[in-house]
Amino acid sequence: MSIIGFLKRLFSHKESYFKKTSKPPENKLSEAEDKKLILTSSDLMQMARKLKEKGEYVRAEQILKDGVKEGVNNIKLWWLLLEIEESLNRIGRAYYCIEKILEMEPENEKALEKLEEIKPLVDKELSYYIEYKMAPEFYKIK
């Protein structure tokens, strides 16, 4: 079909493709529907865990990072973020995650052991130290 034939066919339709249409209906949600769209911290964790299992560490990190920005602040989230950062070899950020865990639970044995394991790496390697210092900005924590 030629271009002219196509245009004739296009304009000969009963309804023109260029005809003005009424406004689309407003997409307002009821309060109940709106509340269903809010993700809980456990939803975020579940999505991040599934992505981590698939090896999609960066996407999992982004989900958890968004949770942190929105004020989700619990030990389980920081542990999962710690595991992901270690998987990505982001030792400075992993160290920061350990600090966040210890802020919430200073006597956490597992976190203290992890701190002993990672701290020498951060102290020794400048890039890890810089990554650690930049972590609050990365996670948008004030």
pLDDT tens digits, 76-100: 999 999 999 999 999 999 999 999 9
Average pLDDT over residues 13-32: 49
Q: What rounded mean pLDDT belongs to the chain?
A: 80
Amino acid (1-letter code) at residue 111: A
Q: Is the pTM of this model over 0.75?
A: no
The mean pLDDT of 29-52, rounded to a whole number, is 72
Cβ neighbours around 80 below 10 Å, total: 21
Residue the block writes with tokens 């493709």: 17
In the structure, what pLDDT confidence band is assigned to residue 15 with cuts at 50, 70 and 90? Answer: very low
Q: C-alpha distances in angstroms, 86 versus 28, 103, 109?
A: 42, 20, 19
CATH architecture of 39-138: Alpha Horseshoe (1.25)
